[in-house]
């Protein structure tokens, strides 16, 4: 059994939040593919490996000693789920949860099965969470998900399904969930980079567009927290409870994933605090800009008030004579004094950075 790896698949470019986009985070749930979902089956019978599509052949191999089945259903219909859960003899509530979707990350333990719900995260125009239902039973692993997530191309299966499946369905469970968790890291790291860029932008220019990006980023981090946080409890139960469907040798692998989740949730919580702090900086910047504007308006008011006071004392009744050039020299002295006083006030206010 190979040691767990810490490879992280890149989910694709995750730039900072697009200010032009207005939609919030999106959660996708088992959208049936046209004509029904794709059902693929991989089987290790202890000596040979085989793959096929369709429900035929599952019942014949189910329960055989030394046989491990991986049944993968992408984009399912309710009819497909009903037929498949009937063959696998799953609890009706499990089938109902799979069909309805709209779950939160969770683990449900029954006498014969372990039902796990987790979310794969990717970035399109926003962070998108795709629900994955996983059912571990005696000799089989069932995965139901949206077509956008393809477990057959994950890094643990790059050398084929057989090397993983021959260690049992519980090892296949580790391989799939470890990939999902590893894919969280590049996305969260890119969100962290977006926060750093946004902090610089807030300091340079606190505009409504910046505030929109800030709130959008906050919503995306909240979605990531809702998707990732409960997964930590899932692996806490998988590693600390005596489960007959999980071999003791697999506990070490699940603990490795649990350690990753602890680090990941700490990072997400840190980023959420940074976003909240950035919002405080934005509000402080806006208040500082408002104070600066008020200071400048006050300075202009001081200048105009001084000119108006002098003009009010001496009056403007002699304006016509002044324009005709017949006014006494005293008028011009008062005018020059007024202009000079205004210039002195302007110079002083500029020295104290009020205008």
- Strand (E) or helix (H) holding 131: strand 127-137
DSSP code for 250: G
pLDDT of 11 reads: 39
Q: Domain 26-285: state its class.
A: alpha beta
DSSP code for 62: T
Token pair, residue 17, equals: 């939040």
pLDDT of 35 reads: 54
Could you read off the pLDDT of 5-29 as tens digits, one per residue?
A: 443 334 343 333 343 333 334 444 4
pLDDT of 321 reads: 57
* Domain residue ranges in the chain: 26-285, 295-351
pLDDT of 173 reads: 94
| Full-model pTM | 0.72
Please, are residues 154 and 120 in contact by the beta-carbon 8 Å criterion? no
Please, are residues 54 and 37 in contact by the beta-carbon 8 Å criterion? no
Angle made by CA atoms 202, 205, 209, in degrees to the nearest 5: 80
pLDDT of 316 reads: 56
Please, are residues 87 and 59 in contact by the beta-carbon 8 Å criterion? yes
DSSP code for 156: G
Least Cα distance to 117 among 126, 130, 10, 71 occurs for: 130
Task: Round to whole Å and give the CA distance between 92 and 267.
Answer: 38
Least Cα distance to 267 among 201, 190, 212 occurs for: 190
pLDDT of 12 reads: 41
Please, are residues 98 and 134 in contact by the beta-carbon 8 Å criterion? no
Task: Round to whole Å and give the CA distance between 253 and 21.
Answer: 40
Q: How many residues does the chain have?
A: 355
Could you read off the pLDDT of 212-234 as tens digits, one per residue?
A: 888 888 888 888 888 888 898 89
pLDDT of 323 reads: 57
Instruction: For the chain, list residues with pLDDT below 50.
Output: 1-29, 33-34
């Amino acid at each position: 059994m190979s040691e767990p790896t810490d490879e992280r698949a890149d989910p694709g470019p995750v730039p900072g939040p697009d200010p032009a986009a207005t939609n919030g985070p999106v959660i996708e749930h088992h959208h049936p593919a046209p004509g029904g979902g794709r059902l693929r089956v991989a089987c290790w019978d202890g000596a040979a490996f085989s793959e096929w599509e369709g429900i035929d052949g599952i019942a014949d191999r189910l329960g055989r000693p030394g046989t491990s089945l991986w049944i993968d259903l992408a984009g399912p219909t309710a009819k497909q789920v009903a037929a498949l859960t009937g063959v696998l003899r799953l609890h009706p509530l499990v089938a109902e949860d799979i069909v309805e979707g709209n779950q939160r990350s969770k683990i449900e333990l029954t006498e014969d099965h372990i039902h796990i719900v987790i979310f794969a995260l990717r970035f399109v125009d926003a962070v998108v969470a795709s629900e994955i239902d996983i059912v571990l039973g005696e000799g089989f692993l069932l995965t139901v998900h949206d077509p956008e997530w393809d477990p057959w191309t994950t890094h643990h299966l790059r050398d084929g399904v057989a090397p993983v499946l021959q260690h049992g369905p519980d090892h296949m469970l580790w391989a799939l969930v470890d990939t999902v968790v590893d894919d969280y890291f590049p996305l969260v790291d890119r969100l962290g980079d977006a926060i750093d860029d946004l902090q610089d932008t807030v300091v340079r220019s606190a505009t409504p567009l910046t505030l929109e990006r800030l709130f959008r980023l906050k919503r995306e981090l909240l979605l990531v927290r809702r998707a990732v946080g409960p997964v930590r409890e899932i692996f806490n139960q998988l590693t600390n409870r005596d489960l007959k469907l999980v071999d003791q040798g697999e506990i070490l692998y699940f603990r490795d994933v649990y350690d990753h989740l602890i680090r990941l949730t700490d990072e997400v919580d840190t980023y959420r605090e940074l976003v909240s702090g950035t919002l405080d900086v934005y509000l402080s910047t806006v208040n500082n800009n408002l104070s600066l504007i008020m200071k400048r308006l006050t300075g202009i008011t001081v200048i105009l008030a001084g000119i108006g006071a002098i003009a009010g004392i001496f009056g403007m009744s002699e304006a016509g004579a002044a324009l005709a050039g017949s006014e006494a020299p005293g008028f011009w002295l008062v005018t020059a004094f007024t202009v000079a006083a205004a210039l002195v006030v302007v110079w002083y206010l500029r020295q104290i950075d009020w205008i």
